[in-house]
Chains A and B, each alone.
Chain A
Amino acid sequence: MPGDPARIFTRLSRVSPSVIEDVRREFGLDRPLFVQFFDYIGDTLSGSLGISYQFARPVSEVIAEAVWPTVLLLGVATIGSTAIGLVIGIYGGWNRGSRTDTSSLGFALITYAMPEFWLGMLLLLLFAVTLGLFPTSFMSTPGLEGASAFARSTDILNHLFLPALTLILALLGEYALIMRSSVMEVMNEDYVLTARAKGMREALVLRRHVVPNALLPVVTLAALNIGFIVSGAITVETVFSWPGLGQLTFDAINANDYPLLQGLFLLFSAAVIVANLAADLLLGVLDPRIGRT
């Protein structure tokens, strides 16, 4: 492991080796690694994630501050990308090969294939610099603390637009593709043929029989994605200086801030597990076959 935590704490104070030993003892760094590991588990179970080296504050506090910006950004991005992705996918699957299908799917795949930070830079150049519509960075304008709640939320919305759009564009290709193939698959099912045979209108066949069944794999995908989105948000948050978990991770890696990194990884793992659980429960609601067994 690079970097000596005891050194980080005693930096720029000319201390004798005995003081450094004291710091080691205080943080338990002098004990064998496996003992430290069990210390860590014990502390975590009792709700303490340790002290961040970099901020000199409890890790849980530092993370709590960065959670909401990320939840806001990822929430908007997930809702936006699934909504648009589903529309493109449903339309494409239903009208496979049409001009709208090929062009919208092509667009979604191109933005999906772009590295997020590059896409972010391009959007920033277009919307912030050329058109001058949106601010380039941060979550709010520094120094606006005294303004009214309404002005502040408008300000946050303005700042949210570009990073959220970047993530939406980057993510929607996946949803569009999965939904499209899922719709095409369901269209070959017997119950769709039956529905058509009894003379149901096409639009109703799509809404009642195709979409609900085709939706199931997308729910699973959205849940699985949450883990990956956090890493994707690292680059997007860095481009737009968005003060969320991605930027915090980036800083923690740069600063050898191990307690903070441990806390973040714990949170990311928990998020993936919770999202998967939520997906399983949601599937039960969406698919009565699962709910009943």
Chain B
Amino acid sequence: MKRLSMVLVAGCLLLALVPAGLAGAQDGGGDEPVVFRIGSVNDLDSLNPFKAVEAPSYELFELQYSLLVGFSQKDLSPTPSLAESWETSEGGLTWTYHLNPEAQWHDGEPVTSEDVKYTYERIIEEEQGLFIDYLRQVETIEAPDPETLVITTKEPSVQMLSIWVPILPKHIWENVPEDETTSFKNDPTIGSGPFQAVEWRRGQFLRLKVNPDFYRGAPEVDEIIFQFYDNPDTMVQAFKQGEVDYIYGLPTRLFQSLDGEEGVETLSSPAPGFTELGMNTYEPTPEAIDKYGAPKTSEGHPALLDTRVRQAINWAIDEAELTDKILLGEGEVGSTLVPPALAKYHLELDESQVMGFDIDRSKELLAEAGYKDTDGNGVVDKGGEDLELRLFARSESTDTVDAARYIQSWLEEAGISVSTEAVSDNKLTDDIYSAEYDLFIWGYGSDPDPDFILSVLTCSQFMYWSDTFWCDEDYQSMYEEQKTQLDLDQRADTIKEMQAIAYQASPYVILFYDNSLEAYRTDKWTGWTRQPEGTGSVLFNFGPYTYENLEPVSAEGGAAAGGTSTGGSSPALLIVGVIALFIVGSGVVAFMRKGSREDRA
């Protein structure tokens, strides 16, 4: 009996080890695709360019579509993309673009000037808010032949080479009715860029496949996978493990913890963006409701409609302290709307104009607006009601949650009671469009041209990019004026004046200009390309340059990059084997013992 059980145990052992051995043998295959993996805590919000507002969606569009004119890797100047060349008439009203004849859609159809015309005209006709401000000055669009596009503008325009609009295939989108433009799923996603999105599982991953017929030449990378993590700590561990090759958007503390990690480069680069405290200044008007579809009522605190209250909040916030404590030096102290990365247009405030950190000044302004602490409970009140505000931070960004904690304590010092809540981007977006908020912390990334970032504070962006419902006539008219100022010094003056107006009115308190924080594996990949050259970030910028240049470090490195952690040993299998062995073994032993005992009992 004893011998039999030994034989059984040995048999089980063999059975358990054979599959483990097979697993090892299978991983040796050399034809694995070259896969590049990106870790992100922020998911896409949509595959549809008319609906998406989140950064990963824009990174996808960068890969999936082409712009008419691109932004160069060296200095963001206009560079050939779909259009190989272009010229403008004297007077600057007529623009002629010559398209690349090689360009084709992912389904094999050629890209023609009709597609560009169709895309732009659809945006103009439907007033598609996310893109309309790039095209407001357009008068007519013509496509005399498949490779030529002619656009005439109403007035001379500075914008015709920086139109950030992905060109869409006419043969797909003409089947999408107008009332479905923003609800269209756009899956499968047909574009003309170097990669094509093939699979998106919300909250898990997005997979892109290389476009072998890309007109600039197919990249080395066969597949790009965005992996979405619920938690930045886990993501950093996954990166250290080599499960992903690139991560971004980390809390500063985690970013700095990666310093000195072997085979890893950490890059902190000034980005044209900022993090702001936004305020709900919505006052429902018939125009806002009928023309822009804004909510009929505002759930925001009425005190925020008073410029003095908003300024009081600005005075109660110590931007320098936040930059120091939250960004740990990876960024600059916030002030005006156009980030310093756009040096020509950024307004540098005089000492005298700056609303610094002064709680007493803040209390004075609140008193001027009629808010005083009459009942001695430490909170200012008016008409018997305490001034209580809600402050939303983003659960997807722990930096904003930390910033909210500082801001809450400063505002409470000034006598404003604040309740802070961390909410998802989705919920925050909905709260903003329903005007059900008081204060929030979020961020913006600017285009290389300042037009976009200026547009987010215009009235005509209500229900699109506007998240404060701030509307100022002077600002609005100057915004339209700067689009036509071909003298760039004059344009800069107008833009600086706009920033001064916005700063004084304080719908936003710009907290800091955060650097773009990236970490990537240099032991597995070469070809990391910064844009602009020497100062910019490697990904999440204005062109697919890194994706086109990436190469696995060596043949072996390529296999490692492709296989990641799926290859090699399979410890789980071994453990399952051991457990199975244990169960079977003990079962056999128990059965035999039972047999022998039964005789005796």
Q: Which residues of A contact B (CB under 8 A)?
A: 2-4, 7-8, 10-17, 19-20, 54-56, 121, 124-125, 128-129, 132-138, 141-144, 147-148, 150-151, 154-155, 157-158, 160-161, 200-201, 204, 238-241, 243, 247, 250-251, 254-256
Inter-subunit contact B50/A12 (CB<8 Å): yes
Contact with A along B45-77 (1 / 0, CB 8 A): 000001101000000000000000000000000
Cα of A285 to Cα of B228 in the assembled complex, Å:
46
What are 12 residue pairs bridging A and B, where the CB atoms are less than 8 Å apart in the complex?
A3-B427, A17-B293, A125-B237, A135-B238, A141-B566, A154-B572, A158-B565, A158-B572, A161-B572, A251-B203, A251-B424, A254-B423
- Nearest residue (CB) in A for B396 is A254
Q: Does B377 contact A (CB under 8 A)?
A: no
With A134-B572, A157-B570, A238-B231 already in contact, the answer to whether A243 and B292 are too (CB < 8 A) is no
Q: Are B19 and A150 in contact (CB under 8 A)?
A: yes
Q: How far is the CA of A158 from the CA of B426 in the complex (A)?
A: 32
Contact A157 B430 (CB under 8 A): no
Q: Which residue of A lies closest to B226 (CB)?
A: A142
Closest A residue, CB atoms, query B238: A136
B571–A13 CB distance below 8 A: no
Query: Complex formed: what's the CA distance from A16 to B293 in Å?
Result: 5
For residue B206, give the distance in angstroms from its CB to the closest CB of chain A.
Answer: 9
B449 to chain A, nearest CB (A): 23
**B207 contacts A241, C-beta separation under 8 Å:** no
Please, how many angstroms separate the alpha-carbon atoms of A54 and B430 in the complex?
Answer: 12
Indicate if the CB atoms of B597 and A13 lie closer than 8 Å.
no
How many of chain B's residues have a CB under 8 angstroms from any CB in A?
Answer: 67
Closest 8 CB pairs of A and B: A254-B424, A142-B205, A157-B572, A13-B182, A136-B238, A255-B426, A158-B572, A141-B566
Instruction: Report the minimum CB–CB distance from B41 to chain A (whole Å).
Output: 10
With A and B bound together, what is the CA distance between A55 and B293 in angstroms? 24
**Residue among A20, A128, A204, A241 with max Cβ neighbours from chain B (10 Å):** A241
Contact B23 A154 (CB under 8 A): yes
Give B227-244 interface residues, CB cut-off 8 Å to A: 227-231, 233-235, 237-238, 240-241, 243
Select B207's contact among A17, A129, A142, beta carbons within 8 Å: A142
Known: A129-B237, A241-B231, A251-B424. 11 other contacts (CB 8 A): A2-B427, A3-B431, A14-B293, A17-B296, A150-B22, A161-B575, A239-B234, A241-B229, A251-B202, A254-B427, A256-B426
Question: What is the chain A residue whose CB lies nearest that of B201?
Answer: A243
Q: How far is the CA of A150 from the CA of B573 in the complex (A)?
A: 11
Cβ-defined contact, A254 with B237, below 8 A: no
A135 touches B201 (CB 8 A): no
Closest-CB distance, A222 to chain B (whole angstroms): 19
Task: Determine the distance from Cα of A148 to Cα of B429 in the docked complex, in whole angstroms.
Answer: 42
Q: Report B77 CB to chain A, min CB distance, Å.
A: 31
Chain B residues, Cβ within 8 Å of A19:
293
Interchain CB contact under 8 A, A133 and B571? yes
Q: Hey, what's the 0/1 contact readout for B334-377 against A, CB within 8 Å counting as 1?
A: 00000000000000000000000000000000000000000000
For chain B residues 1-55, which have a beta carbon within 8 Å of chain A? 19, 22-23, 26, 35, 37, 50-51, 53
Q: Are A204 and B601 in contact (CB under 8 A)?
A: yes
Shortest Cβ distance from A143 into B: residue: B225
